[in-house]
Structure 1
């Protein structure tokens, strides 16, 4: 059985797809799974032990700079995949761009139906359109999609198996015996917790571990350095870490805390103790999972708005739902989770 999984991005969505692959390999251990993914996330898609081959397309890079070299990379990947034949092509993204790619390859195409896909028109590209309830966690949606497509009993409500072993990453050089990681930055500004809240949390927390502030983009680095410069308990990584390098730090951390961002979801996939702070998005759909993890949010009447600008704030920089998530609430939950 040869399967092409189409799930292009983003970082958290990649990790949310792992349990479906684990389910599949448990039922069909000899199945071959290839993964078509955006080039930016090709490395992390290959971390799941059940994935045979990665096919990368530079869609995000093309959006920023549609140069001839990137266009040629896209054409070459499509040509290479056209030479393959798949028994199943499963589009777990449900967007027009993923459906367009799926449509170009040889094999029977499966995806979400009109009511289930994130972009309904995408369903027109599939030969088998599968109904999957929208109002549930992304992990469960993808597991159910795989089960319907491949004809096996859904593994729900069994806890998801991410197929990751933290011990596959060596302990990072210079890491203390115990430490925590915080991730205050992400792409959406409405997902950010107030800087002064982070300062209060770091100054008042009594978990008694060393703390490092993680970052990925230049903007996130600036945020991390502003927080670090105003207190004495947390350190900032001096340079940008690769996915694999940050994975080492997460794998050996005592705990991880942050907003709704990719590295927080990686910590959840590794089954680390995690506390995630949510604002415009809902943990019901994308929250961290695991026995030692929890999500915090404030459910205002507009929740979850899924907006990149807060419509009820008095100014453009305020996010009312994240401001309602007071430091004391977060401190209490963090110390309950991480001290135990």
Structure 2
């Protein structure tokens, strides 16, 4: 039986985009055990991926070397007898544990000059693999394998009992139909559609008979509070749910409206109809990976700039993207 260790990304969206890789590995090696090394807070994501056997918490934060801690972890992993490690982040640090654990095959892209740390090293052709999800998926095959099969979309699996428990805990009902609005984006304000636009959209949705729930972490409480102040009828869940509860509740959405964020990728992996609002980033690299998804963007000359804060100070890419444009896309998704 093949044992595979995945060094997984720390961001929500990136972690979800790795799921097709796991599906590919299971397709090639049905009896394989796939373990994931990732930050502890990503456990709810991996718990909803059927291919994952177990999750190992990575005891170091973003940018931390903690060489002694990595060595100690590597000693523990060595006893598990992994045949292969696939390193998804491109940093040098992320390749250290598989090397120290003596894992025979260590697969990944070149990244930060990782020759020697990885011995199944891949040279990336960004034109052939323009999307992050494609780059992850390609690591599930041999280096020289032709890439002819269509890549599946990410999938998260929901436990209905856990979802009902989340509804009960928060005193919520799935009727009338709910529209989820995810107004946050941890990367920075240049990815966040303005609160006034989100509130105006919520008002239209409430008038059409929907209920509107705002999703987000503690970091999104400010923008969600601003939306709530403008539209008090919304249900503001920002900071009130765990990540696990947010995933389960998002699965109830009739449609989701999201910025380019981790929760956008969650909604897509839950196969929810999705309107994705793009400002400073590009759907060409991290698109919403769902059959029923519409991207709304202005395609201004100055975008995508990929900056956290608008370098020109006006953020026209989002400020001028009106609620009517998003509503039009939403109605096209829900017309049936």
TM-score by length of 1: 0.86
For residue 111 of structure 1, the aligned residue among 94, 98, 108 is: 108
Quick one: which of 56, 77, 99 aligns to 1:81?
77
Deviation at 1:252, TM superposition (A): 1.7
What is the CA distance between 1:292 and its match in structure 2?
1.2
Between the aligned partners of 1:176 and 1:42, the Cα distance in structure 2 is 26
Which position in structure 2 is the counterpart of 1:295? Answer: 295
Q: Secondary structure at the match of 2:150?
A: coil
Alignment of 1:78-227 (within 5 A): 78-107=74-103, 108-113=105-110, 117=111, 120-122=112-114, 125-135=117-127, 136-148=130-142, 154=147, 156-162=149-155, 164-165=157-158, 167=160, 169-171=162-164, 172-173=167-168, 174-177=172-175, 178-187=177-186, 188-205=188-205, 207-217=208-218, 219-227=219-227
Name the SS of the counterpart of 1:229 in structure 2.
helix
Q: How big is the shift at 1:137?
A: 1.9
Structure 1 gap segments, 5+ residues each: none
Task: Determine the C-alpha separation between the residues in 2 that align with 1:305 and 1:194.
Answer: 18
Contact 2:195/2:224 (8 A) holds in 1: no
Higher helix share: 1
- C-alpha distance in 1 between matches for 2:57 and 2:36: 8
1:271, distance to aligned residue in structure 2 (A): 0.8
* Alpha-carbon distance in structure 1 between the residues aligned to 2:231 and 2:194: 15
Unaligned runs of 5+ in 2: none
Q: Is the deviation greater in 123-132 or in 246-255? A: 123-132
**Within 5 Å, which residues of 2 pair with 1:268-307?**
268-307=268-307
Q: Matched residue of 1:175: which SS?
A: coil
CA distance in 2: counterparts of 1:88 and 1:210, whole angstroms: 47
- Alignment RMSD, CA only? 2.6
Work out the CA distance in 2 between the residues paired with 1:312 and 1:179: 36
Counting matched residue pairs gives 324
Call closer, same or farther: CA 1:98–1:222 in 2, change over 3 Å.
same
Q: TM-score, normalized by length of structure 2?
A: 0.87
In the alignment, the residues of structure 1 paired with residue 15 and residue 56 of structure 2 have an alpha-carbon distance, to the nearest angstrom, of 14
Determine the structure 2 residue equivalent to 1:33.
34
**Partners of 1:209 and 1:237 in 2: how far apart?**
16
C-alpha displacement of 1:111: 0.7
Q: Deviations over 1:143-170 (max 9, x none)?
A: 1121235x76646424325253575753
Q: Provide Cα deviations, 1:179-227, integer angstroms capped at 9, x if missing partner.
A: 111111122111111122112212234552110111202x411221221
**Judging changes above 3 Å, is the alpha-carbon distance between structure 1 residues 251 and 36 closer, same or farther for their aligned structure 2 residues?**
same
User: Offset of 1:123 from its aligned partner?
Assistant: 5.0
1:295 & 1:312 partners in 2: Cα distance? 23
